[in-house]
Each structure stands twice: as C-alpha cells, then as structure tokens.
Amino acid sequence: MLDQLRQMDTCTLGTQRLRRLFTTTTITTSTHLHYLLLSVLLAILVCDQIANGYRILGVFPLHGKSHWIMQEALMKELARRGHQVDVVTHFPLEKPIPNYTDISLKGSLPQVMNNMTAAEVLGFSTPSISNLVAMAGNNICALLDHPKIQELIKNPPQDPPYDIVIQELFAAPCYLAFGRHLKVPIVTTVASAFHDWLNEVSGNPMNPAYVPSLFSEYGQNMNFKERLTNFLLTHYLSWQMHYYTNAQLKFVLLSVLFAILVCDQIANGYRILGVFPLQGKSHWIMQEALMKELARRGHQVDVVTHFPLEKPIPNYTDISVKGSLPQVMNNMSAADLKAGFSTPSISMFVAMAGNAICALMDHPKIQELIKNPPQDPPYDIVIQEMFAAPCYLAFGRHLKVPIVATVASVFHDWLNEVSGNPANPAYTPSFFSEYGQNMNFKERLTNFLLTNYLSWQLHYHTNTQLKFVKEHFGMDLPHIKDLYSDVALYLVNSHHSLNGIRPMTTNVIEVGGLHLKDDDNPPSPEVQKWLDESKDGCIYFTFGSMVRIETFPKEMIQQIYASFEKIAPVRVLMKVAKKEDLLPGLPKNVMTQSWFPQISVLKHKNIRAFITHGGIFGTQEAVYCGVPMIGIPLFGDQIVNIKNYVNKKVAISLNSVTEVTEEKLTSAINNILKDPSYRENL
C-alpha cells in the first residue's frame, strides 16, 4: 500500500482544499481497513497539482520522540512532493530540506528522550487518565503561550494562507481549535491503534466484544468475563479522557474564538452556490427552505432552480432555468403512473431524473456559471441535491470548493457505498422495499438483494453521465462514483423517530422536517370558511404535487365519491389540479381546489384525517400537525413511508391505489374518526 502511495504523482481530487467547515479526517497506524482510507487521504493531500501545492501547518507540540517518528515521516514526504509545510515541533531538522520550515519549540518542555528511570516506569503500572492528561495534555496545551505559537495564532501567514492543519491526536485536543481559527480542515494522526476515546467523537463504530481497549491485556478472542471487563474499561477510559481534557477549554479561550467566528459570519457570510436542476416541486421544498434560511442568516446564496422566488428576499439570487424542462407539477396522470412506476426501472428512472437533468448543462445560465463563475467574492461552497444526477458534483471540483449534498428522502441505497456509510439490509429497508425494520429471513434476503441490485444499477446507469462531465468540465474520470468523494456532508430529510434507526457516519446528518414552519400561507377566505364551518370534522385528501387524482379510472373515482358521501356530515377538502377533468357527481360535502396551503390546512382544529399517497414531506407535515393518516401509496419510498406510520399506529394503509374500494376507504376513515388512539399516538 505504501508503495502505491509513493507512485501517486498526479491527482484530480483538489476539491478537498476548502473542506474547512465540515470534515476532520483521522489517520491511524492500525493495520486494518484504515490503510484504505490512508491511501485515499494521502492521495488527496499529496497528489494534487504539484505546481500548486498546498500550504500545510503541522502542529506537533508533544515532546515524545516515539510519537514524532510518524509525524516527521509524513511531513517530510509532503514537503518532498511539493507542498509547503510549516511544522511546530520539538525536533527541528538537523539538515534543512526544501519546502519544510521548522517552528521549533525545542527546550520549552523537559526532555523525555533518554530521561525516564525504572522508578518512573513503575509509575505507569496502574494507568491513570488524570496523570496522562496532566502530562501529555494540559502541559502541552500550556505551550499555547509560547511566542512562536502565539505568532501563529495572531498573525498566521496569508500569502498564501494555510490550506489544512495536520496534528496528532493524543491527550491535547485543545490544539484542534487551530482548524476553526484558520477556517481550514484538520487531518489528525494517531501514533498507535485508534484510541478508545476517539470512537465517540469521530462516529467510529466500536465493538468491545472483539476490539481490545488501548490499555487492555486481552487479544481479540475474549471469553465472556474478559469481554465484560473490556467493555467497562473502554467506556471508562473514554469518559475519563473527555472529563479531564475538558479542562483545556481555558487554554482555547473559547469565548474569544466564538466571538471571532460569530462576528465573521455576520459581517462576512459565505458565498454559496445552490445547484438544484431537478424540476420536481416536492424535491424543491427542502432545498428552498435551506437556501432561504442561509440567506436570512447573512450568507449570499445563488440558486439554480426551476422555481424562482415570487417575492425577492435579501442575499438570495435566482439563477432560473424555469421552462427549460417539461413541467411535472400537476402533470402526472394515472396512465403515466402505471406506465412508468408500476415496475420500478432504474434505467428509466436515471433517464428521466438523471440524464435529462445533466443535459441542462447546455443551458446558457449554467454555462455562464461553469465558464465565468463569480470571483468577487468567489464561491465558498456548493450545495446540491443528490438523487440521480451526480454529474453536477463536478461543480465542486471545478470551483475547488467542498460540496454539501441534500437528500430529500431517507438515505438512498446507492449512497452508502460512495459515502462510506455502513449499510445493514438486515434491518434497514431498501428505498423501494415494502418491508419495515422487523423482517423475517426471506424478507431480509430479498431486501439484501434488492439493496445491492439497486445500488449497482444506479451507478451503472449514471456512469453514462461522464460524457457530460467531460464535455462541460473537461474532466477525465474512471467512474462517476469518483465524484462522490468530494461530498463533505449529507443533509438527509429523515428522522429516526419516523424512519427507524439507521447507521450513519458523522457526515450524514438527519434534518427531517427542515422545511416545517408555522408561518405558512393562510388558506383562501373560501377554504377558511369551509374549515371553520366543518363542525363535524374535515378530511384532507391529496396525492401530492405531481399526480392528478382526476385522471384515475371512473370506477375508482366513483368508489371515492360513494365513501365521501357516506361519511357526511364530515367534510372533505380534495386537491384536484383540473376541475374540468373531474368525474361529475362530486358529493356536496367535498370542496376541490387546485392547490392548498398544506400546513395551514393540516393545522386547522377541524381537520380529523389526512388521505395521502405517502410522500415524505406531506407525512412529516401531518405528524408535525398531529393529524392521523390514511395511506394510498403510489410508488417509490411512499410504500415504506406509510408502512412506518402504520407500525407506529398513526396511520391506516389501503396498500395500493388498485385496492381502493368504497368499503375499505369508509372503514379506514371511520376507524380514524372514532378511535382517538391514532391522534394520541402522535
């Protein structure tokens, strides 16, 4: 593996340069899978264009020679490969080498090399975390007063500035403040096996059943007593380490740093490019909420979208591509649904929601972004949705900025592999699965095959998007999956309370309900009057922003009419895009509109139930407003969404649109109306 590293002389992974907000990577000398991560990380660090090497600050204030061996090798190799490295160390080089500058602390702490007696060694026979932190932590943090470190803090170089900080993690996490202070990412080194106390703070999974503690005498094959002891020791050491190192906050001057960061954000917000070329209104809901909030907080956001704001707001600029693709809002018929979604086809899915979206790179406004991105100031970050068009990830590499990806549903099956997120199909249902988390053996096997098949198919079909990346960005890549490595953070529209427990790494953050707000547009006077007068209750019925209820077969519409007539005097609000296409005979207790302000409707005191296709945004809004649901799932994740709510006893499912009958629908409505537990469970 190290031979492979030495052979890496060129690389296109320059987008790691500005991952200053979101990433901290840890290198360890462990001999397991960490070497794979090591190769990728070092490729990023040392293989970027040699002509434009990074400026790297190495911070190694621990005065232990054995710890220095790894750090010296790493920093000298980075210098050899053309990067400019400045190194805080107690062991300055005896012979200077190009690109390497010592920031020497030699003599500032008592020497430990060749200076430990047998008596002192015996003092380590009973490990004490408080002693360890005092000697290798707090004493090291006190070096922040050293004139050379003070100069680094107060007057860091600006021509060029630092691109990254590399430092050892042992017992002095106080120095991690350098990353935040300089607004650059941190790479940490660990001069031994991964420490017990690093698992919690890095999000690394730990299993003390077979992973011995750093201070344990056990191997990996432990009996029950040893596993129990190892479990207790691992957690005790972790708790003790964080307890004692917390005293280092005094060295960091947290209040001063916080003031610096907050004031900087207010006075000099980031310039953010939002790239959302998908024309699905339901997907846009999350993106709009995020970008508007970033603008409200003082950041300058430029947003590629099919849905420009009706009313401009400060700091927010639309880059509108409206009208460049066929409209899907209120434009999907029952026939379209049957033709395109009855049997999920990844090739068709990628063609519609991927390749057709990538073709938008020819749009003049997107071409302008690619060829002449703003420079005063330039973009600091790109935010874009991850669905079926990873071609747009090339923007991060092109602009040399990090990418934050949003996911408008639960985390997709195909994202686990490319994000390094652990996938466990034994209890995590596939995106297109009908299963819940409690599966029998046959279901687990089916779910395993489906999860992996979908992932393989998605990456296979999206790989054709390399032609767009080559044509518009001039990048030759081995596979489209290569671009995912530039994603620093995933914001996922899910929450474990609704979608079940899922394993997630620290760069996958659940933000389910991000779009929810209390100040939704009020209903029209007509709708408000209808709701206020619905003293016996009102049912809200919609199939979302795309599907037109009025296009479903006559027989099904008649069944729905009969059910609604039967529940009178309970009223119904039904979203119908085109009233003129609706079957005649609408019951008198039903009002139709082409659009409703959904949250305002669901919040009304007289709403008793929500008949829904199971879209994730609508169901989140129902939960937020405390309204039980009747699910008629149509396609995609709607099936598993409804199943989740049924399992939580806040919904009743009719299973499929083909199974809707007057009897089933009436029974479901009456059960919701008459059984208070559905509402109480919310």
Burial of 25 (0-12, 13-18, 19+ CB in 10 A): buried
Helix (H, G, I), strand (E, B) or coil at 555: helix
Q: Tokens in use for 620? A: 């989140």
Residue pLDDT, tens place only, 427-484 = 898 887 778 888 999 999 999 999 999 999 999 999 999 999 999 999 999 999 999 9
The partner residues of 591 in beta bridges, in order of sequence, read: 573
**Is the model's pTM score more than 0.85?**
no
Helices (H), 100-247: 118-122, 129-133, 139-141, 147-154, 177-182, 196-202, 224-245
Residue pLDDT, tens place only, 577-634 = 888 888 888 999 999 988 888 899 999 999 999 999 888 889 999 999 999 999 998 8
Q: Tokens in use for 626? A: 């405390």
Quick one: pLDDT at residue 371?
A: 95
> CA triplet 678, 283, 346: central angle to 5 degrees?
100
* HEC profile of 580-594: HHCCCCCCCCEEEEC
Quick one: pLDDT at residue 563?
A: 93
Quick one: pLDDT at residue 15?
A: 33
The residue type found at 678 is Y
DSSP state of 506: T
Q: Are 528 and 431 in contact (CB under 8 A)?
A: no
Q: Tokens in use for 298? A: 């003082």
Q: Tokens in use for 297? A: 């907080």
Q: Are 19 and 186 in contact (CB under 8 A)?
A: no
DSSP state of 568: T
Domain 271-510 shares a fold with domain 525-681: yes
Distance CA 77, CA 169 (A): 20
Quick one: pLDDT at residue 399?
A: 94
- Name the phi and psi angles at 30, rounded to 5: -60, 150
Helices (H), 533-586: 554-567
Distance CA 346, CA 241 (A): 49
CATH 3.30.300.130 is held by the domain 525-681: no
Quick one: pLDDT at residue 436?
A: 81
Helix (H, G, I), strand (E, B) or coil at 348: helix
Distance CA 400, CA 202 (A): 25
The residue type found at 642 is I
Quick one: pLDDT at residue 629?
A: 94
The partner residues of 573 in beta bridges, in order of sequence, read: 540, 591
Q: Where are the domains of the chain?
A: 55-192, 271-510, 525-681
Which residues, given as ranges, of the chain have pLDDT below 70? 1-52, 113, 115-127, 249-268, 329-344, 519
Q: Are 172 and 190 in contact (CB under 8 A)?
A: no
Q: Could you tell me the fold of the domain covering 55-192?
A: Rossmann fold (3.40.50)
Distance CA 426, CA 228 (A): 26
* Strand ranges of the sheet holding 164-168, from the earlier edge strand across to the other edge: 24-28, 186-190, 164-168, 55-59, 84-89, 100-104
CATH of 271-510, one of 2.20.25, 2.60.40, 3.40.50, 3.30.70: 3.40.50
The partner residues of 574 in beta bridges, in order of sequence, read: 541, 592
Quick one: pLDDT at residue 35?
A: 42
Q: State the residue for tokens 């006893």.
A: 649
Q: Are 17 and 47 in contact (CB under 8 A)?
A: no
* HEC profile of 263-292: HHHHHCCCEEEEECCCCCHHHHHHHHHHHH
What DSSP assignment string belongs to 451-488?
HHHHHHHHHHHHGGGHHHHHHHH----S-GGGGGGGEE
Quick one: pLDDT at residue 643?
A: 87
Quick one: pLDDT at residue 639?
A: 84
Distance CA 636, CA 638 (A): 5
> What count of other Cβ atoms lies within 10 Å of the Cβ of residue 533?
11
Q: State the residue for tokens 């996922």.
A: 492
The CA-to-CA distance between both ends of the chain, in Å, stands at: 53
**Interhelix angle for 554-567 vs 662-674, to 10°?**
30
Quick one: pLDDT at residue 54?
A: 92
Which strand (E) or helix (H) includes residue 630? strand 629-631
Q: Tokens in use for 71? A: 């750090």
Q: Are 273 and 404 in contact (CB under 8 A)?
A: no
Q: Tokens in use for 5? A: 């590293």
Which strand (E) or helix (H) includes residue 189? strand 186-190
Burial of 158 (0-12, 13-18, 19+ CB in 10 A): exposed
Q: Measured between alpha carbons, how far is residue 484 from residues 347, 479, 480, 679 in Å?
A: 20, 10, 8, 42
